């Protein structure tokens, strides 16, 4: 009969970052004394062991003799440390965790872009203190959601997290920030190994009676493990080493779970488990009860060609990347097995700490080498995205890689190319596509064939749909009486068509100007941007009536200010009619010269006295702006000179003049009057 079952979590003890830091420190200590800048890990037992082996912990570089070797711990340091070490000729071993290094560069970039950076973490933790330094002291640190409510934030906010922070706390802080600022960019910067360790601890806590968490009391990730286990409602015991474990705390527990922080050595975990095994066995050695311990399989996984694996990038150079996939050595990811842009460095695509899905291309067990490929995964994922875009009609973007007379070749990513026929490039005819070369454009997939990797694209469809949406929105928003901006698209004999937002409206020739015109081209040209007044909207017929003249001041409102009855001015004859002539005083305002006011003698037809286009002098008789009527007189503006009396009294008796010749003009004037 089993009286006690001990279950050890699979993800317990050293993480890869701490293991490599410890191995690097011990390797360097074999050649002489090594100085660790701050505790290499938050575990008292580990630090005591390192000290015995020649790894001395110091708090600052001032404590390090010149020319010595210094190892930077996994938590990272401020940027200034690197410069100071170089000035003092110190040899640096940078053991900063890849996840932490990636986070440092992210904080530096976000601050450089002017964003307000908030760090979810412990302000006293060395990792967080280094992050603040990478952000030039600008990031704010919050350890609890309530603290986020008190922050004074700008418009652009970015939230990052200490790599060992709990996901639920980060989520709560994110919600508090979103309540204060509409646009909050949240970055997932929690170490994936830490996240998996916490998830596994939570699952294990759900099926045991007691959880024992092993790790240093200064260790942030150990503390988070204890919090995660307690949150599942199970009794949780935190111990730094076996000597701290009081067996009475286990009580009547039948199943005990064990997990450990990332800085806890394997031997400390074994000592804690050994103490539980020994004391329980001693208590039941006279009976049949036994203690059973369930250890996870820590052996290396065997890999085969074609396996899909997940791994974390450890190192990147120009030719390849090293990826930790859980094998006895890092897998090799050559540059040619990663899809990159033209002249794009591998370091621009991959960064240490980045998690990838990969395919095993080759395995050499004798040499312990595994060759990996990202290209296969990327092509598979990209084709799936193309299939989804095709079925759902999603708009995609891509770079124009090549132009030919028949159309354009588009780089779709993932090693795929698509072809856009010339007829699908635009809604209008384009004779030459070279202007699109190397441009990023939007399009839809309109044909897809996997067997031939054939992808046909259309930019025209995107433009048509956008124009249709714009037209619909414009028709919904327009109202009679609005003054809006438009662009003249074409001119006809009867008016001008104006684009007012994806749809053309018509300005009838009578609504173009306050004065008479024969053709719209007298006032407008194609391409002119003008203000127009909406005078009619019929959505169901997509008809919009516009007026240019009504969007401008009414000249009749100016006529009374510029003229008064009795004024004499000049104007241009615009029309001759049977009852007189119309004369333009200012653009848009015509007055009538009645035929009786055209001359000081009887006029039968207006054309006897004036011609269209002629400039004449007129006298203003009356102005009525409300009725838009002005009465004019040419006769009073040009009075007939009186004849000299001497010429009328002295007549040569021998002449043949008659009385009609002498007085005829007088009779005609009286008749006309």
Q: Is the pLDDT of residue 653 over 70?
A: no
The residue among 326, 356, 353, 364 whose CA lies nearest residue 338 is: 356
Average confidence (pLDDT) over 81-99: 89
3-state secondary structure of 588: coil
- pLDDT-based confidence at residue 656 (cuts at 50, 70, 90): very low
Asked if 311 contacts 296 with a C-beta cutoff of 8 angstroms, the reply is no
Non-local (6+) Cβ contacts of 406 within 8 A are 421, 422
Tell me the pLDDT tens digit for each residue of 264-303.
887 788 888 888 887 766 555 544 456 677 766 555 566 7
Distance (Å, rounded) from C-alpha 86 to C-alpha 82?
Answer: 6
Q: Is the pLDDT of residue 640 over 90?
A: no
Q: Is the pLDDT of residue 645 over 50?
A: no
Tell me the pLDDT tens digit for each residue of 579-597.
999 999 888 888 999 999 9
Look at residue 131 in the predicted model and tell me its pLDDT.
95
Look at residue 644 in the predicted model and tell me its pLDDT.
42
b vs e for 577-612, b when ≥16 Cβ sit within 10 Å of the residue's Cβ?
Answer: eeebbbbbbbebbbbbbbbebbbbeebeebeebbee
608 φ, ψ (degrees, to nearest 5): -70, -25
Q: Is the pLDDT of residue 100 over 80?
A: yes
Tell me the pLDDT tens digit for each residue of 16-70.
788 888 888 888 887 788 999 988 888 888 888 888 888 999 999 999 998 889 9
Tell me the pLDDT tens digit for each residue of 465-504.
888 888 888 888 888 888 989 999 999 999 999 988 888 8
What proportion of the chain, given as a percentage, has pLDDT over 90? 38
Look at residue 479 in the predicted model and tell me its pLDDT.
85
Asked if 571 contacts 591 with a C-beta cutoff of 8 angstroms, the reply is yes
What is the CB neighbour count within 10 angstroms for residue 433? 19
- pLDDT-based confidence at residue 365 (cuts at 50, 70, 90): low
- Residue 250's Cα: distance from chain center in Å? 54
Asked if 249 contacts 236 with a C-beta cutoff of 8 angstroms, the reply is no
Q: Which residues are catalytic?
A: 127
- Residue 600's Cα: distance from chain center in Å? 79
Comparison of pLDDT for 426 and 649, the residue scoring more:
426
Tokens representing 293 are 């311990």
For every residue of 69-96, DSSP letters joined together read EEEE-TT---HHHHHHHHHTTPEEEE--
Give kind and range of the element (H or E) at residue 622: strand 615-624
Cα-Cα-Cα-Cα torsion 276, 281, 287, 293, nearest 10 degrees, comes to 60
Lowest mean per-residue pLDDT among 91-105, 167-181, 363-377, 621-635: 363-377
Give kind and range of the element (H or E) at residue 17: helix 16-29
Q: Is the pLDDT of residue 235 over 60?
A: yes
pTM of the model: 0.44
Beta-strand ranges (E) seen in 276-373 are 290-294, 308-316, 320-324, 331-334, 355-364, 369-373
Alpha helices in 125-235 (DSSP H): 126-134, 145-148, 167-180, 192-205, 220-231
Look at residue 366 in the predicted model and tell me its pLDDT.
57
The residue among 377, 300, 353 whose CA lies nearest residue 100 is: 353
Look at residue 25 in the predicted model and tell me its pLDDT.
85
Q: Bridge partners of 444? A: 458
Asked if 7 contacts 208 with a C-beta cutoff of 8 angstroms, the reply is yes
Look at residue 470 in the predicted model and tell me its pLDDT.
83
Distance (Å, rounded) from C-alpha 653 to C-alpha 330?
Answer: 140
3-state secondary structure of 672: helix
Asked if 589 contacts 630 with a C-beta cutoff of 8 angstroms, the reply is yes
The residue among 492, 486, 593, 497 whose CA lies nearest residue 530 is: 486
Q: Is the pLDDT of residue 659 over 50?
A: no
- Indicate the average pLDDT of the chain: 85
3-state secondary structure labels for all residues of 646-666: HHHHCCCCCCCCCHHHHHHHH
Tell me the pLDDT tens digit for each residue of 64-73.
998 889 999 8
Asked if 189 contacts 131 with a C-beta cutoff of 8 angstroms, the reply is no
Lowest mean per-residue pLDDT among 141-145, 362-366, 383-387, 432-436: 362-366
Distance (Å, rounded) from C-alpha 316 to C-alpha 318?
Answer: 7
Asked if 323 contacts 314 with a C-beta cutoff of 8 angstroms, the reply is yes
Look at residue 302 in the predicted model and tell me its pLDDT.
67
Helices 220-231, 192-205: axis angle to 10 degrees equals: 30
């Amino acid at each position: 009969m089993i009286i006690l079952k001990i279950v050890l979590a699979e993800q317990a003890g050293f993480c890869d970052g701490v293991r490599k830091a410890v191995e690097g420190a011990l390797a360097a200590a074999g050649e002489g004394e090594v100085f660790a800048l701050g505790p290499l890990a938050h575990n008292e037992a580990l630090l005591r062991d390192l000290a015995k082996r020649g790894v001395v912990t110091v708090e600052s570089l001032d404590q390090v003799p010149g020319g010595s070797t210094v190892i930077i711990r996994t938590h990272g340091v401020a940027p200034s440390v690197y410069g100071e070490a170089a000035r003092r000729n110190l040899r640096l071993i940078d053991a900063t965790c890849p996840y932490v290094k990636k986070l440092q560069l992210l904080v530096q970039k976000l601050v450089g872009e002017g964003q307000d950076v908030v760090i979810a973490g412990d302000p006293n933790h060395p990792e967080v203190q280094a992050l603040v330094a990478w952000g030039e002291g600008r990031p704010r640190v919050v350890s609890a959601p309530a603290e986020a409510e008190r922050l004074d934030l700008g418009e652009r906010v970015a939230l990052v997290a200490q790599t060992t922070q709990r996901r639920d706390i980060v989520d709560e802080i994110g919600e508090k920030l979103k309540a204060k600022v509409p646009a909050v960019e949240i970055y997932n910067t929690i170490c994936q190994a830490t996240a998996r360790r916490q998830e596994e601890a939570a699952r294990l806590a759900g099926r045991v009676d007691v959880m024992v968490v092993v790790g240093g009391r200064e260790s942030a990730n150990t503390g988070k493990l204890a919090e995660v286990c307690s949150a599942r409602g199970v009794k949780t015991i935190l111990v730094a080493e076996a000597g701290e474990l009081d067996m009475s705390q286990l009580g009547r527990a039948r199943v005990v779970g064990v997990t450990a922080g990332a800085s806890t050595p394997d031997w400390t975990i074994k000592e804690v488990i050994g103490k539980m095994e020994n004391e329980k066995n001693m208590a039941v050695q006279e009976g049949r009860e036994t203690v059973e311990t369930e250890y996870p399989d820590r052996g290396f996984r065997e890999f085969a060609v074609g396996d899909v694996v997940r791994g974390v990038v450890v190192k990147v150079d120009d030719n390849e990347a090293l990826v930790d996939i859980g094998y006895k050595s890092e897998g090799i990811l050559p540059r040619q097995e990663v899809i990159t842009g033209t002249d794009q460095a591998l370091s621009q695509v991959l960064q240490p700490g980045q998690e990838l899905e990969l395919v095993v291309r080759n395995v050499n067990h004798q040499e312990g080498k595994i060759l990996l490929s990202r290209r296969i995964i990327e092509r598979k994922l990209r084709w799936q995205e193309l299939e989804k875009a095709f079925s759902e009609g999603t708009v995609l973007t891509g770079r124009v890689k090549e132009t030919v007379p028949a159309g354009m070749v588009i780089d779709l990513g993932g090693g795929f190319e698509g072809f856009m026929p010339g007829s699908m490039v635009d809604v209008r005819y384009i004779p030459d596509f070279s202007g699109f070369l190397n441009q990023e454009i939007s399009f839809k997939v309109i044909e897809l064939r996997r067997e031939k990797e054939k992808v046909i694209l259309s930019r025209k469809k995107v433009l048509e749909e956008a124009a249709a949406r714009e037209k619909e929105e414009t028709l919904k928003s327009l109202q009679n009486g609005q003054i809006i901006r438009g662009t003249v698209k074409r001119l006809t004999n009867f008016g001008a068509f104006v684009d007012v937002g994806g749809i053309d409206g018509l300005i009838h020739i009578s609504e173009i100007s306050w004065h008479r015109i024969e053709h719209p081209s007298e006032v407008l040209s194609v391409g002119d941007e003008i203000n127009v007044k909406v005078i009619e909207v019929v959505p169901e017929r997509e008809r919009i009536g516009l007026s240019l003249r009504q969007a401008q001041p009414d000249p009749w409102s100016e006529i009374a200010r510029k003229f008064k009855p009795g004024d004499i001015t000049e104007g241009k004859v615009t029309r001759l009619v049977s009852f007189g002539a119309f004369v333009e005083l200012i653009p848009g305002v015509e007055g009538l010269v009645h035929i009786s006011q055209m001359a000081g003698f009887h006029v039968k037809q207006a054309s006897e006295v004036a011609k269209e286009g002629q400039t004449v002098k007129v006298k203003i008789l009356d102005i009525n702006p409300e009725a838009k009527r002005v009465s004019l007189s040419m006769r009073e503006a040009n009075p007939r000179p009186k004849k000299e009396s001497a010429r009328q009294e002295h007549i040569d008796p021998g002449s043949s003049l008659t009385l009609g010749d002498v007085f005829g003009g007088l009779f005609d004037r009286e008749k006309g009057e």
